[in-house]
Structure 1
Amino acid sequence: LFRSVLYAGANPATAALGAGNILLYGGAYTLSKPRTEWNTWIGAVVGAIPPVMGYCAATGEVLGAEALWLGTGLFLWQFPHFFSLAWVHRKDYARGGFQMVPVNDPTGQRTANLVGKYTVALAALPILSSASGMTSWMFGLESLVFNGIALRAAQKFSDDRSTENARVFLKRSLWYLPLLLALFLFHRQDHDLDETLLGDVKRQLRGYCAHDLVTAASGDAAGSSGGAEGEGGAGPGAKLCPVHIVDDTVGKAKAGGERLVRQLTASGPKP
């Protein structure tokens, strides 16, 4: 029934992804849980497919850049989340006969290392999305705050592999994912959304965005002074905005690289 709904309401690719994911969950993942620690990695694939399905249903594309970003984000997030969860409840997992890393890790060193490694990998995603142009640089800058909190919790668990420290990290992971996805959506560079309800929400929320507040205040100041920058451009105070600083730095780096390529090409051997 669900395949028919997805097929009729979305597209065949979404229906195929859904059917394949159910088979993966009911087959490889379920069968691997009492047999191998790799069940967590198989389960992470299962958890990464639904956001790709959503993207595919909305756009008709399976391998778009944003679909890959969403799938990668869900894939990476599951490791620190479930490893910390399994450490907190390792005795219950052991009694249930599940082969989890924390069950076979008496000291917790392997568990803590995996939590730290995947938290670091996850922290790179907002920077990559900003650098690629999928989102504004404000997303990358904001991520320094919540990723810093997550990394600190991971380091604390690594230093002292107690149940309490694992529980603290687990609680952090519960708000981390919705915050990551919400900010990705908010800072997404897609002007097609401007005329939708989401566009209206974004315009309302921008009143609380540090980047837009600094830019608007700077523009107003420049406009009131009658300067040229007040005519549609941001005033000099906007240079204090972290987004403008990053954009300016990246722009200068790109321009410098292009000049270097042109110089090397012009000075190269000619036939």
Structure 2
Amino acid sequence: MADPSSEVLLPPSVEQLIQKICIEQNQTPPHADLKRKLADRGEEESLRILNDIARQKIRTNLSACINHWLKNNHHQPNSPCSSPSKPPFVARLYGNPQDSLPSTSEAVPDFMVTEPPRESERAVLEALGELEFRKQFLILSYSGGKELQTVISAEEIRRLKDLPMIQFEQKVWQSLGQRYALSREDRRMYPDWDCGKTHIYHCHVYLNGNTSFKGPYLNKTRTHLQKVLGDDNVLIVKFEEEDKDCPLCYYYGAYSKIAKEGISVGLRRYRFFGKLFFISMCMW
């Protein structure tokens, strides 16, 4: 029998956001009647409601939460969605710094963005490409999967370019990692970055097709591919484990795209090579 929630077609952006919420909060898709109500609200209003829901912890189920927001259009104390005990900080690096930055005793780094970067995505990626690869990757890792041009400007990247690796890591962690990295464990600190160890680069692929980068990790061992192609040309990719509650189509869309198009890392593109679910990708 077909999934009743799939009988109503919503704009792709709305469907993708619903899938993201289902995956991240272990929820089942909303009922067909709720999808119809979302369709009646239009794409913009539906995205606003779903983005509000995505920022909350769902206490009951997604359908109840959507129904509540459709009726009230704003958060109520008895909502089936509640803020986590420690709500995630949504950093806004634009506008008034007093409104956008968290209260902290730490000084804000000199190169923090205080107004929207005006460069295009391409301009920021070109600036990123001027750095040695491990520095590029560290910026991508600490940006937590965010679109790079929304968290750092080309000028800031170039300002970091010539810093020694230890100082570079400290600056990037202060400006990006503390705000966007998924956990403190994602921080890469080494007393000697030039000790001759292998640099290992990881990419995590999620069910909704999003990617996040981890590393570089320094390791004593070196695989055959790394010996032949060089550390910077091998990307180790891990796919998110299957969720028995998610339809297979959730996996197919994300993973087939990776298999066909590869993975972009800055201006580089890594192509499939090796075994599914834990693979190496080589830049050609």
User: Shorter chain as normaliser: what TM range?
Assistant: under 0.3
Relative to the length of structure 1, the TM-score reads: 0.23
Flag the structure with larger Rg. Answer: 1
- Greater strand share, 1 or 2? 2
